[in-house]
Amino acid sequence: MYVAVILILVAVGTVVFHFMSPWWWTPIASNWGFIDNTIIITFWITGVVFVAVILFTAYCVLRYRYQEGRRAEYEPENKKLEWWLTGLTGVGVAGMLIPGLFVWNQFVNVPAEAAEIEVVGQQWNWSFRYPGKDGVMGTSNVRLINDDNPFGLNPDDPNGRDDVLVDGDDLHLPLGAPVKVLLRSIDVLHDFYVPQFRAKMDMVPGLVTYFWLTPTRPGTFDILCFELCGIGHHAMRGSVVVEAKEDFEGWLGEQETFAQAMRRTGTDKALALRAQQ
Amino acid sequence: MNLFQQLMEKPWLTEASEVVELRDGRTFAMAREKLGLRVFLVVAMVVFSLFAAAYVERMVFSDWNSIPIPWLLWLNTLVLVLSSVAMHRAWGSARRGRIEGVRLGLYAGGAFALLFLAGQLLSWRGLVAMGYYADANPANAFFYLLTALHGIHLGGGLVAWVRTMVKVRRGDGVPQMRLSIELCTVYWHFLLLIWLVLFALMLLT
Amino acid sequence: MVDAAHDQVDFVPPAEVEEMELYHPKSFLTKYVFSQDAKVIAIQYSFTAIAIGLVALVLSWMMRLQLGFPETFSFIEAEDYYQFITMHGMIMVIYLLTALFLGGFGNYLIPLMVGARDMVFPYVNMLSYWIYLAAVLILLASFFVPGGPTGAGWTLYPPQAILPGTPGAEGGIILMLVSLAFFIVGFTMGGLNYVVTVLQARTRGMTLMRMPLTIWGIFMATVLALLAFPALFVGAVMMTLDSLLGTSFFMPAIVHMGEQLSYGGGSPVLFQHLFWFFGHPEVYIVALPAFGIVSDLISVHARRHIFGYRLMVWAIVIIGGLSFIVWAHHMYVSGMNPWFGFFFATTTLIIAIPTAIKVYNWVLTLWRGNIQLTIPMLFALAFIVTFVNGGITGLFLGNVVVDVPLSDTMFVVAHFHMVMGVAPIMVVFGAIYHWYPKMTGRMMNVAMGQIHFWITFLGAYAIFLPLHYLGFLGVPRRYYEMTDTTFIPASAQDLNAFVTVIALVVGAAQLLFLFNIGWSLVNGKKSGPNPWRATTLEWQTAQTPPGHGNFGKELPVVHRWAYAFGLPDATEDYVPQNLPPDQLNSDYDNSKLSPDTPQAAE
């Protein structure tokens, strides 16, 4: 008796906890509301199954508890019942998978108008790069990285000269404009995640990975590293500021470009010298 | 009954049947040792396949510089083929009950296998002397890795070979050693096949 | 596989005489230490696995103390924390669960349940255990080398696993990789035994479809393990070379702490593919034996045949097959080609269908049964609850787009603990309560069992259910501490403290279980040969515990499937597998027989 009651309490308690929980996802700040919707569909389908299975188990425990001398019913198979259950499960699975794949299709297809930005991860901080006025990112190579060139940009690539480098400051994004976030790591795996954006991707040394989003809500949000990257993993944090386009452009104009950085460090002179020789 | 039919059986219906269909519970009609070896060969095959897959996947990166295959490897391949042929002849003699043939085949098979291993080590030394270190290029690293792995498997085979030789030296009858010889031969052929595939892979890339 | 073919084979003597030449132990050392008897090896495996599992349990306490009460314990630094999570994960998954289900239960149950005298290669079986023990000792040794054990996470992802900046990069990681290689070699030796014994050494009449589901689960899990562990082996060998020789299998060009390293061109994602090609089947290596065993527990204690036996077998086979084409669902956000997401999400969600069928059939076995709420049955019920819970959260993570926000959050931690931690452990407990009488001749104490059960079940559920919700919130896993954020409310810390307290209690309750094992050995009620009145062959042995060679002079002959419960025309509500059909109406209830009469079952 009490076993069945406790099973029912577990099922009911789970549902109550679900609806009462103060811990729930953060208010969304990007276009990926579709992901939230897919989660809600999944919740309903799986929730119904969970409650039904537990309650049915509790019913069986209650109704068919042991009685001396009684025999269990002998019915090794019931094809019809099994087909029905398989079919219904298939429908439920399709109900979750199909919307999921539609949203994934959006996730992997970056809109043509998305502006590129780059996030570079290393143990244990973030830095950011914008393509500058020409809208094209300069090429980069890990082998070119040194104290004067922390991004490893190719000084001979004209596209890179006007790239805006942000090291030790927040990432800024314009409100309402799609961005393709290019991700690069120079040492170990990292993962760029802003909980309010819902989208994340690992940063893999040797590869450039990406995802895209459209920020939809102004504000300052936390950036967290979401792939274990050594003892400082939990301290690898940053901030992203989503602001109106004018504010964003004003801020961007104040940042140093690669050409300016080279001038500051004297790298450009050495380069010019090399070119003369 | 084939496997599929067995899996379709409704076990509760055969409940009352007096007849026990299988004389014993075996699924495959072969000696346990043979099945055991086959299962092991499948596992070894998976290991080598995964290495080969990693090789192919790693190859596409731009830093890959093929390693020059030493001519000695051709000779080694020939030696390994001879080793396999000798083992096969030992098996043939065992089936016909001819102890002299068994002895000759086993001695030759083992000797050629040892010669092969020595040849492999020699080719390593040659490559190292020419400066092809494992950490210099992934192609070099894979070369050492795959040859070492194959060599270790052959070394394991030689342990089984020694155990068979003990029986021969002890003067056991041919029927007592038939299974051991067969298992060794199958394993030798398997390693020859693996070597040919690995050799071709390294040669062609 | 033609029947006639059997007669052409001259190696196997007919069943009426000794089936195999058993190795007869001559001294104490060969009987109890270097034993070749699968039952002794099983107990050695189980004790070693449980002992190392206790280490992992203590490690989990340390982690929970840090998460529940950050900045309280000076002896848990970030470095220690990452080492704790790594060792906890690896030990629990491989050295405890895999070893216990296959090395422990597999060794004990396979020969007994299929009606064999022993495993087919007893010597190799013994070697398997000793190599496993060596693997465990090497793993433990890593706690005592400079730099300590590795803190790379149980996934051991390069490049960080072998670079300074991760704890244990000096020596711990090498010991971990070497230990894994040993484990895999040892397991392969055991695995060959399990597979060949099931295929070749079944007694007369034990057709494939008459095997208990326990055997099906362990058999299929062994097949998976034999095919999947090589991937881990390959990855471990290549990473060892990267670390020791400076090769670049997995290591790309890296600037580490401001310094250019000499690595170049390698692919960290390649390691992830190898790891998960092993890692996903590994989930089923743990789950399938649990599926099999729980089927038998439910059937015996509900006094009813398993519902839809054939579908249960097919589902085990199908799940086993599918488990090799879903691995990249662990890598949706790894940076691999995103188009793979479509394929792997589809295969992953398809695998939910056979899994769901198994759940339905367990519940339908209870339906119209005659349910005895014994301790094993309670654990089986707890398995259903926790497995369904953990299974459905798998549908979240398998559906590629839902995984994007949830991956690497506490949701993942909660999911896999529920589905491959709590649920299989419930089966382990149920199985130990169930087979303890056969192994010792005595019943385990029920009162202690009840207390142990309720604390463990409700406690474990209360630990892991709320963690899902922290995951929704965006709390990451593998964080030493959560310093100020704008999105995590203070209440999350209270929840963490609550979970930690429960975790300490649940962990402590396991001491009661261990005490019960020891106490019942001396004080437990005498069980007789078949206290649960079960049908399978291990309960029909001449002696309890079964002696050397398992059965009496003759091997049992099997006349029916393992689930002959509630037959309308039999005297009792169960019919042993080896009862001749003409004795259905005789007085065959061997549970009434005294365990002291060795000839009882014959």
Side-chain half-sphere exposure of A209, counting CA atoms within 13 A: 25
**C492-539, pLDDT tens digit by residue?**
999 999 999 999 999 999 999 999 999 999 999 998 899 999 999 999
Q: At A186, list the tokens.
A: 């120079």
Window 23-52 of B: residues touching C by CB (8 A cutoff) are 23-32, 35-36, 39-40, 42-43, 46-47, 50-51
Query: For position A184, what pLDDT does the model report?
Result: 95
Q: Are A101 and C346 an interchain contact pair (Cβ–Cβ within 8 Å)?
A: yes
DSSP code of residue A122: E
DSSP code of residue C30: I
**C451-467, pLDDT tens digit by residue?**
999 999 999 999 999 99
C chain contacts of residue B135, beta-carbon cutoff 8 Å? 245-248, 262
Q: At C339, list the tokens.
A: 């188009």
Burial (0-12, 13-18, 19+ Cβ within 10 Å), A24? exposed
Q: Which fold has domain B71-204?
A: Four Helix Bundle (Hemerythrin (Met), subunit A) (1.20.120)
**Secondary structure, 3-state, C489-555:** CCHHHHHHHHHHHHHHHHHHHHHHHHHHHHHHHHHCCECCCCCCCCCCHHHHCCCCCCCCCCCCCCC
CB contact B5 to C (< 8 Å): no
With CA atoms as reference, the chain C residue closest to A234 would be C479
Peptide bond connecting C545 to the previous residue in cis, omega within 30 degrees of 0: yes
Nearest to C360 by CA among C423, C398, C315: C315
Q: Are C384 and A53 an interchain contact pair (Cβ–Cβ within 8 Å)?
A: yes
- The mean pLDDT of B68-91, rounded to a whole number, is 93
Interface test with A, best of B8, B9, B12 (most A CBs within 10 A): B12
- CA separation for the pair B170, B164 (Å, rounded): 10
Judge whether B55 and B200 are in contact, CB under 8 Å.
no
Judge whether A64 and C365 are in contact, CB under 8 Å.
no
CB contact B63 to A (< 8 Å): no
Please give the single-letter amino acid code of residue C212: P
Q: Are B138 and C249 an interchain contact pair (Cβ–Cβ within 8 Å)?
A: yes
Q: Are C339 and A237 an interchain contact pair (Cβ–Cβ within 8 Å)?
A: no
Nearest to C293 by CA among C220, C184, C395: C220
Query: For position B14, what pLDDT does the model report?
Result: 64
Locate tokens 């002179």: which residue? Answer: A269
- pLDDT at position C23 over 70: no
- CA separation for the pair C310, B11 (Å, rounded): 8
Judge whether C270 and C327 are in contact, CB under 8 Å.
no
CB contact A196 to C (< 8 Å): yes
Q: At B50, list the tokens.
A: 């995964």
- pLDDT at position B27 over 90: no
Burial (0-12, 13-18, 19+ Cβ within 10 Å), C187? buried
Give C3's pLDDT tier (boundaries 50, 70, 90): very low
- pLDDT at position A59 over 60: yes
- pLDDT at position C586 over 90: no
Query: For position C2, what pLDDT does the model report?
Result: 34
**C306-329, pLDDT tens digit by residue?**
999 999 999 999 999 999 999 999
Judge whether A202 and C50 are in contact, CB under 8 Å.
no
Query: For position B15, what pLDDT does the model report?
Result: 54
Give A164's pLDDT tier (boundaries 50, 70, 90): very high
CB count, 10 Å around CB of A16? 11
Q: At C59, list the tokens.
A: 């490690």
Residues 6+ apart with CB under 8 A from A34: A103, A106, C401
Q: At C66, list the tokens.
A: 């840090």
- The mean pLDDT of C211-239, rounded to a whole number, is 96
- CA separation for the pair A2, C247 (Å, rounded): 62
Please report, for chain C, how many H helices and E strands are present, in that order.
Answer: 17, 2
- CA separation for the pair A194, A216 (Å, rounded): 13
CB contact A86 to C (< 8 Å): yes
- Proportion of chain A above pLDDT 70, given as a percent: 99
**A40-50, pLDDT tens digit by residue?**
999 999 999 99
- CA separation for the pair C232, C240 (Å, rounded): 12
Query: For position B64, what pLDDT does the model report?
Result: 85
- CA separation for the pair A205, C198 (Å, rounded): 46
CB contact B12 to A (< 8 Å): yes
Nearest to C94 by CA among C82, C102, C84: C102
Average pLDDT, chain B: 88
Side-chain half-sphere exposure of C585, counting CA atoms within 13 A: 3
Candidates C14, C230, C564; nearest CB to B15? C564
- CA separation for the pair C492, B26 (Å, rounded): 58
CB count, 10 Å around CB of C523? 10
- The mean pLDDT of A20-35, rounded to a whole number, is 93
pTM (two decimals) = 0.94
CB count, 10 Å around CB of A149? 18
Give A7's pLDDT tier (boundaries 50, 70, 90): very high
Give C283's pLDDT tier (boundaries 50, 70, 90): very high
**C223-236, pLDDT tens digit by residue?**
999 999 999 999 99
Instruction: Please list the helix, strand and coil fractions of chain A in percent, rounded to the nearest 5, in that order.
Output: 45, 25, 35
Side-chain half-sphere exposure of C551, counting CA atoms within 13 A: 28
CB count, 10 Å around CB of B190? 20
- Find the helix or strand (DSSP H, E) in which C382 lies: helix C375-398
Q: At A277, list the tokens.
A: 């020789």
Give C27's pLDDT tier (boundaries 50, 70, 90): confident
Judge whether A263 and A233 are in contact, CB under 8 Å.
no
- CA separation for the pair C574, B79 (Å, rounded): 64
**CA dist list (Å): C10 to B34, B88, B94, C18, C202:** 13, 22, 16, 15, 17
Q: Which of B54-58, C258-262, C393-397, C581-585 has the lowest mean pLDDT?
A: C581-585
Candidates B36, B39, B138; nearest CB to C265? B138
Q: At C391, list the tokens.
A: 């299974």
Locate tokens 């990855």: which residue? Answer: C235
What are residue A173's DSSP bridge partners?
A242
- pLDDT at position C596 over 70: no
**B121-159, pLDDT tens digit by residue?**
999 999 989 888 888 888 899 999 999 999 999 999 999
With CA atoms as reference, the chain A residue closest to B12 would be A76
- pLDDT at position C47 over 80: yes
In chain B, where are the structural domains located?
71-204
Locate tokens 């490049």: which residue? Answer: C159
Query: For position C602, what pLDDT does the model report?
Result: 32
Chains that contact B by 3+ CB pairs under 8 Å? A, C
Give B1's pLDDT tier (boundaries 50, 70, 90): low
Nearest to B42 by CA among C421, A197, C188: C188
Nearest to C36 by CA among C99, C133, C121, C132: C121
- pLDDT at position C21 over 70: no
**Interhelix angle for C107-114 vs C172-200, to 10°?**
10
* DSSP letter for each residue of C306-335: PTTHHHHHHHHHHHHHHGGG-GGGG-TTTT
Cα C122 from chain centre: 22
- pLDDT at position C68 over 70: yes
B chain contacts of residue C317, beta-carbon cutoff 8 Å? 7
- CA separation for the pair B23, C205 (Å, rounded): 7
- CA separation for the pair C341, C399 (Å, rounded): 9
- CA separation for the pair C600, C585 (Å, rounded): 18
Answer yes or no: CATH 3.65.10.10 is held by domain C39-251+264-523.
no
- pLDDT at position A88 over 90: yes
**B151-198, pLDDT tens digit by residue?**
999 999 999 999 999 988 888 888 888 899 999 999 999 999 999 999
- pLDDT at position B18 over 80: no
Residues 6+ apart with CB under 8 A from C325: C344, C347
Query: For position C7, what pLDDT does the model report?
Result: 35
**Interhelix angle for C172-200 vs C122-141, to 10°?**
160
Query: For position B31, what pLDDT does the model report?
Result: 85
What are residue C416's DSSP bridge partners?
none
Q: Are C204 and B20 an interchain contact pair (Cβ–Cβ within 8 Å)?
A: yes
Average pLDDT, chain C: 91
C-alpha torsion angle, residues A258, A259, A263, A266 (rounded to 10)? 70
CB count, 10 Å around CB of C251? 27
Query: For position B5, what pLDDT does the model report?
Result: 80
**A241-252, pLDDT tens digit by residue?**
999 999 999 999
- pLDDT at position C568 over 90: no
- The mean pLDDT of A130-155, rounded to a whole number, is 90
Query: For position B30, what pLDDT does the model report?
Result: 81
Burial (0-12, 13-18, 19+ Cβ within 10 Å), A247? middle
Judge whether B60 and B140 are in contact, CB under 8 Å.
no
Query: For position C555, what pLDDT does the model report?
Result: 86
- The mean pLDDT of C391-406, rounded to a whole number, is 94
Using DSSP bridges, classify how beta strands A237-243 and A171-174 pair: parallel, antiparallel or unpaired: parallel
Candidates B16, B31, B57; nearest CB to C581? B16
- pLDDT at position A110 over 90: yes
Q: Kindly list the structural domains of chain A, giving each domain's residue range(s) and its CATH number in brackets, ordered by start.
A: 2-65+78-108 (no CATH), 115-276 (2.60.40.420)
Q: Are C268 and A204 an interchain contact pair (Cβ–Cβ within 8 Å)?
A: yes
CB count, 10 Å around CB of A145? 22
Judge whether C562 and B23 are in contact, CB under 8 Å.
no
Query: For position C313, what pLDDT does the model report?
Result: 96
Query: For position C133, what pLDDT does the model report?
Result: 97
CB contact A143 to C (< 8 Å): yes
Candidates A38, A66, A198; nearest CB to C370? A66
- CA separation for the pair C490, C467 (Å, rounded): 15
Query: For position C398, what pLDDT does the model report?
Result: 94
With CA atoms as reference, the chain C residue closest to B2 would be C1
CB contact A246 to B (< 8 Å): no
Candidates C82, C341, C369; nearest CB to A104? C341
**CA dist list (Å): C158 to B86, C101, C249, C333, C490:** 45, 30, 10, 16, 35
Candidates A78, A103, A232; nearest CB to C401? A103
